[in-house]
Amino acid sequence: MEYAQIYLGLAAAFGLFMAWGIGANDVANAMATSVGSKALTIKSAIIIAAIFEFAGAFLAGGEVTATIRKGIIDVSQLEGSPELLVYGMLASLLAAGCWLLMASSKGWPVSTTHSIVGAIVGFAMVGIGMDAVKWDKVGSIVMSWVVSPVMAGLLAYILFMSVQRLILNTSEPLKNAKRYVPYYIFLVGFIISLVTLFKGLKHVGLEVSLGQAYLIAFVIGGVIALIGTVLIARIKIEVSADRSFHFANVEKVFGVLMIFTACAMAFAHGSNDVANAVGPVAAIVGIVHSGGELTQKSAMPIWILLVGGVGIVAGLVMYGHKVIATVGDKITELTPSRGFAATLAAATTVVIASGTGLPISTTHTLVGAILGVGIARGIGALNLQVVRNIFMSWVITLPAGGLLAILFFFALKGAFAA
């Protein structure tokens, strides 16, 4: 293919830019509950996210990429001109990256999945034709954007109600917190380990049976719960603190739990959302390496996941604080116990979706979970003005990604075809 090396260079650069945008915008959502509830400082949240986002993207990021690459558009119509798909995927990455940069600068928590899907659909409509878009597939992705916040909200509601029943609304909340929080920590470790073992480690060369996966996840969950129990035992109890806020010491126990859920959410997010950056890159690399063959399946090269992981971490470190402020402080007042319920519910929803290959929006999932916690305390606990603004930014994202992709597609086509 003519310009093959240039295509590969641009794919790596634009993929890195898109991954940077994911880090700046979406990872902030993953860590916002921990920072908003004061369980973690912004600095420690960024360190945790950097480690676990990278691990999730690199170890477990291969599953969702197939849906982004192959599921949304029918590329068979481009058999004679594979370079059009290369221009389209490059334009989609650049368009989504630009929109995420713009949204992050304003502190808007938008969806990276919306951004890339809107961009790919936009390019396909003008570059191939309306019939090239698999509208049923787009419909199922749109459905997931409704299902995921509802599912996360329901899970968060149930989790927080269990916290209220077992701990907060009892005669000895501190004693019960010390008793039950290790079980919640076990649940976090078990769920994340299990999903990772099920779907994520094949390309690293590790495959385990169903029974082995449950056993390993059970052991990892147990070890993490033991670590949590030791940390809880070390908490300094201040009797005077409970006079100003009845659950001050209880929330300290939940602060330990939030550290574990923050790790889980970062890992879950890395495994699911890295696809938005590396899926189009993998498609371009597959076309170039096969000499323009579109039907040939291409394996996910390790270096592409590496680019995705590095980009996500860089975006978070450089620009993530803006969106953290919006999601962590402004939707509803978060404490560690509320933040825990929201984060574990969101992480569980994300890893279930990641395991089934459904490209959901982490932003929608987490905001849905925070709303679920807020509703558990009554609708008055929500800042409806902020919720409305967030919903509006979600609506704008799809057309914004599509329009930018159309512009960049014609620019790239003009540059290379000339």
> What local confidence, expressed as pLDDT, does residue 128 receive?
85
Q: Report yes or no: 133 and 73 within 8 Å, Cβ to Cβ.
A: yes
Nearest to 94 by CA among 17, 26, 19, 9: 17
Tell me which residue has tokens 């291969």: 62
Tokens of 161: 């109600």
Q: Considering the entire predicted model, what is its pTM?
A: 0.81
What's the domain range around 167? 4-417
> What local confidence, expressed as pLDDT, does residue 357 receive?
67
How wide is the angle at C-alpha 247 spanned by C-alphas 245 and 253, nearest 5°? 130
Task: Report how far residue 201's alpha carbon sits from residue 181's, in angstroms, rounded to the nearest whole number.
Answer: 29
Q: 256 CB contacts (<8 Å, ≥6 apart)?
A: 181, 185, 228, 231, 232, 235
Task: Report how far residue 365's alpha carbon sits from residue 107's, in angstroms, rounded to the nearest whole number.
Answer: 18
Residue ranges of alpha helices (H) inside 290-377 are 302-319, 321-329, 336-356, 362-376
Nearest to 107 by CA among 19, 25, 23: 25
Residue ranges of alpha helices (H) inside 234-247 are 241-244
> What local confidence, expressed as pLDDT, does residue 2 receive?
75
Task: Report how far residue 415's alpha carbon sits from residue 418's, in angstroms, rounded to the nearest whole number.
Answer: 6
Beta partners for residue 252, in sequence order: none
DSSP secondary structure letters along 89-137: HHHHHHHHHHHHHHHHHHT----HHHHHHHHHHHHHHHHT-GGGB-HHH
Q: How far apart are the first and last CA of the chain?
A: 16
Which strand (E) or helix (H) includes residue 2? none
- Structural domains in the chain (count): 1
> What local confidence, expressed as pLDDT, does residue 234 receive?
87
Q: pLDDT tens string for the chain (418 positions)?
A: 678 889 999 999 999 999 999 989 887 766 888 888 888 888 888 888 888 888 887 776 665 555 454 567 877 777 778 888 899 999 999 999 999 999 988 888 888 888 888 999 999 999 888 888 888 877 877 777 778 888 899 999 999 999 989 998 888 888 898 899 899 989 888 877 776 676 555 555 567 777 888 899 899 999 999 998 998 888 887 766 655 555 778 888 888 888 888 887 788 778 777 777 888 888 888 888 877 676 545 566 788 888 888 898 889 888 888 888 777 777 777 888 888 888 888 878 877 776 676 667 777 888 888 888 888 877 777 888 888 888 888 888 888 999 999 999 999 999 887 6
In a 3-state reduction of DSSP, which class is residue 247? coil
Tell me which residue has tokens 């003008």: 126
Largest Cα separation within the chain, whole Å, is 77
> What local confidence, expressed as pLDDT, does residue 200 receive?
53
